[in-house]
Amino acid sequence: MSFAHQTDAEILRELAARIDHLRRQKAYTDKETCERGGVSVRTLVAFRRSNKDITLSSFIRLLRGIGELERLEGLLPPAEPVFSPAQQRFVEPPKRIRGKSATPADDDFQWGDET
């Protein structure tokens, strides 16, 4: 399932369903999951019912509670320098990305109008 065309609420519902599926697959109760992860049962139930947006910290705790914390590794690549064959060394991305400066519009220019 692609999240690209879903609303935030739809994505949260899907994530809650996936967490619940993994929890049931491992035969953990809500209480066991929450105790292992250090989050309240109320938070888990509200997340499952889409009544409440949970924090990233709570989401991590839920993953820890069902023993699936390593799944976060696949979310984003590690922040490591990348080897550049052209420069023959590892290159860090720039620390700061500046916006493009506005260039004057040449819309008024016409050929032969140099005078």
pTM over 0.75: no
Q: Which amino acid is at 72?
A: L
Contact indicator for 109, 97 with CB cutoff of 8 Å = no
Burial class (CB in 10 A: 0-12, 13-18, 19+), 8: exposed
Higher pLDDT, 60 or 106: 60
Model pLDDT for residues 47-75, shown as the tens digit of each residue: 988 877 889 999 999 999 999 999 888 88
Q: Per mean pLDDT, which range of 42-51, 59-68, 83-92 is the poorest?
A: 83-92
Give a yes or no: residue 70 inside a domain.
yes
Give a yes or no: residue 62 inside a domain.
yes
Domains: count for the chain: 1
Alpha-carbon span 56 to 50, nearest angstrom: 15
Give a yes or no: residue 63 inside a domain.
yes
Question: Tokens 């506005």, residue?
Answer: 102
Query: Cα–Cα–Cα angle for 80, 86, 92, nearest 5°?
Result: 25
Q: Containing domain of residue 61, as a range?
A: 29-74
| pLDDT(111) > 90 | no
Residue 83 main-chain phi, psi, to 5 deg:
-75, 130
Model pLDDT for residues 3-12, shown as the tens digit of each residue: 888 888 888 8
Give a yes or no: residue 104 inside a domain.
no
Give a yes or no: residue 11 inside a domain.
no
